[in-house]
Amino acid sequence: MARPDKGSDVSLLSNDTLSFSNVYVLGDSLVDSGNVLGLLDWYNLDGWLLPEGAPVPEDGYFEGRFTNGYTYADLIANRYVGAPTEAVFPYGYDDVLFGWPVAPFARDPIGNSLNFAYGGAQVFRDGSFLPGIDGQTDALRDAVDGRFGAQDLAIISIGGNDVRELAPASGTVTGRDLAMLDIQRSVAELLSEMSQLASDGLKTIMLTGMPDVGLIPEYDANRDGRLDSGEQFRAELASEYSAYFDFLVRTEVIPQLEALGVTVHYTPLLDITDANGNVIEEGALSLVLPTIAALNGITVEQIEADPLAYADLIYFDPIHPTAQVHALVGSYMHARMEGTEWIEIMPMDESALLRSFTGVIDFAGETDSFGIRLQKGETYTIEVLGMSTLGTDGSLADPWLQLADKSGNAVTQGFTLTSGNDSGLGFDASFTFTANASGRFTITVGAEGSLTGSYVVQVGTAQVSATLAAQSAPETSLDIASAFELSEPAMAEPVYADHGAKAWGAIDPMDIYIY
């Protein structure tokens, strides 16, 4: 594989509608970017002491996160302020035994993308050495000196561990009446802490709903690939408690925050149902499930019929989703915040594929350029595939692409309405357009914000792409992850198309080369 031309680009952020100066993250392991790992190192503790374990790199966890890549909070922060979130530990952490700060002289954390979340945290600390929402908001208020700016955004995702304590995979289960009271208390505390942030000037909150805790593979306690009656009871109870927690957030927390003048961007993670159990709004996981199924050549119905058999497609460990799921869900959250259509287009299949090549963005702002000769009047699709499609460790989580003509002018005409840098799966890019002239065009690939990682570029003939409106896999499913193994490019040299291939017939002469 030839080496692409390596350049840099001064614009690192998309032209999103919303604008924020700082992003702050509060919550649990779904959004922790390294605070728990820092805590373990500080005290030289073993991971088994934590309810979530330890997100150590030797087990495949990415830079202290409870998954194999960036979380949805990282990706949303990166879109708005140009950087994934950075853990603040030991700042603001109080020793559980003595009650004093472990780093009393630590400077205020520096940066505009700060993470105060701790894996395993509950709304209430209740003797745990993991800060609850009160401890996290105290540290945040201290970091901003008690005053937020008008363009600050807080991302809050917490509550799953509260449910897991009430309906654990093993041990004592809390009965419904007491559990409902406990959930009410937790939600009241969450509202109180968020109201304090509002009184300190916070104007915008992105609040995720509760995940359906009952779906996590952890409830298969004996790891035999099925739920026995006891395990099923616990899982169903966890789902019930999750739904009640989410209901209170929607009906109590959000309206009262809005009454205080806060703009709340809420995204449900679980399905919202009416009193008869009918789904009235699909949660984010249900919405991305058709994508996961189609990429793996199966149907949603197959996953739903035997979720434990396909758990590895969704979960990185028995509790936490993969980085691919984070990227897909994050793109949906971002679209809701922006008020734009969430477009999900499957990558082109083999019949349309003309050429593919790989690359790596090694540092923030780096760009790769590829040359391609196209024919006037022909319609093409160009895709950049990253984490949302490939799902492989180290994949670029939010790529973008640009197309320029032989004079270096950006091609902005002739694109279909569904084309764009988020029009592939998740945050991946897909552009379909008709060439307005014959000759050389330049594809430039980069990453949003300060992200790095590997990617695959695909060039092909335009096709009617699946938008995953139907919950079934396409007749032919391409295993992208295995079809394109990412490798280090070799020395630069022209790479010519196989003119004998049927797919190349629309272009004569035709060559793709890499600068």
pLDDT at 351: 86
Cβ within 8 Å of residue 111, ≥6 positions away: 83, 86
Q: Give the span between the Cα atoms of 398 and 447, in whole angstroms.
A: 6
Mean pLDDT rounded to a whole number for the chain: 86
pLDDT at 343: 86
Residue 436's pLDDT band (cuts 50, 70, 90): confident
pLDDT at 419: 74
Confidence check: pLDDT of 413 > 90? no
Q: Tokens 């807080």 appear where?
A: 154
Burial of 46 (0-12, 13-18, 19+ CB in 10 A): exposed
**What average pLDDT score do residues 486-493 get?**
31
Joined together, the tokens standing for residue 36 give: 């728990």
Nearest to 397 by CA among 153, 37, 85: 85
pLDDT at 126: 61
> How many Cβ atoms sit within 10 Å of the Cβ of residue 503?
16
Residue 476's pLDDT band (cuts 50, 70, 90): very low
pLDDT at 483: 30
Residue 449's pLDDT band (cuts 50, 70, 90): very high
Confidence check: pLDDT of 485 > 90? no
Confidence check: pLDDT of 10 > 70? no
Residue 357's pLDDT band (cuts 50, 70, 90): confident
pLDDT at 5: 57
Is residue 290 within a helix (H) or strand (E), and if so which, with residue range? helix 284-295
**What average pLDDT score do residues 42-69 get?**
84
pLDDT at 4: 56
Evaluate whether 137 touches 193 at the Cβ level (below 8 Å).
yes
The 3-state DSSP class for residue 198 equals helix
Confidence check: pLDDT of 154 > 80? yes
Sign of the dihedral defined by the CA atoms of residues 93, 95, 98, 101, in that order: negative
pLDDT at 251: 97
pLDDT at 3: 43
Nearest to 481 by CA among 297, 355, 284: 297
Where helices occur in 377-498 by DSSP H, the ranges are 387-390, 480-483
Confidence check: pLDDT of 338 > 60? yes
Q: Which residue has the higher pLDDT, 354 or 467?
A: 354
Q: Which residue has the higher pLDDT, 56 or 416?
A: 56
pLDDT at 50: 66
132 φ, ψ (degrees, to nearest 5): -80, -165
Joined together, the tokens standing for residue 322 give: 């993969």
Residue 412's pLDDT band (cuts 50, 70, 90): low
Percentage, residues of the chain above pLDDT 90: 69
Q: Which residue has the higher pLDDT, 324 or 515?
A: 324
In tens, the pLDDT along 79-126 reads 999 999 999 999 999 887 777 889 988 899 999 999 999 999 999 876
> Helices 176-199 & 133-143, crossing angle to 10 degrees?
10
Residue 17's pLDDT band (cuts 50, 70, 90): confident
Cβ within 8 Å of residue 107, ≥6 positions away: 91
Residue 52's pLDDT band (cuts 50, 70, 90): low
pLDDT at 105: 87
Lowest mean pLDDT among 69-83, 208-222, 300-314, 500-514: 500-514
Residue 495's pLDDT band (cuts 50, 70, 90): very low
Lowest mean pLDDT among 102-116, 394-408, 412-426: 412-426
**What average pLDDT score do residues 421-446 get?**
91
Confidence check: pLDDT of 339 > 80? yes
pLDDT at 481: 32
Peptide bond into 90 cis (omega under 30): yes
pLDDT at 182: 97
Using a cut of 0.75, tell me whether the model's pTM lies above it: yes
Residue 44's pLDDT band (cuts 50, 70, 90): confident
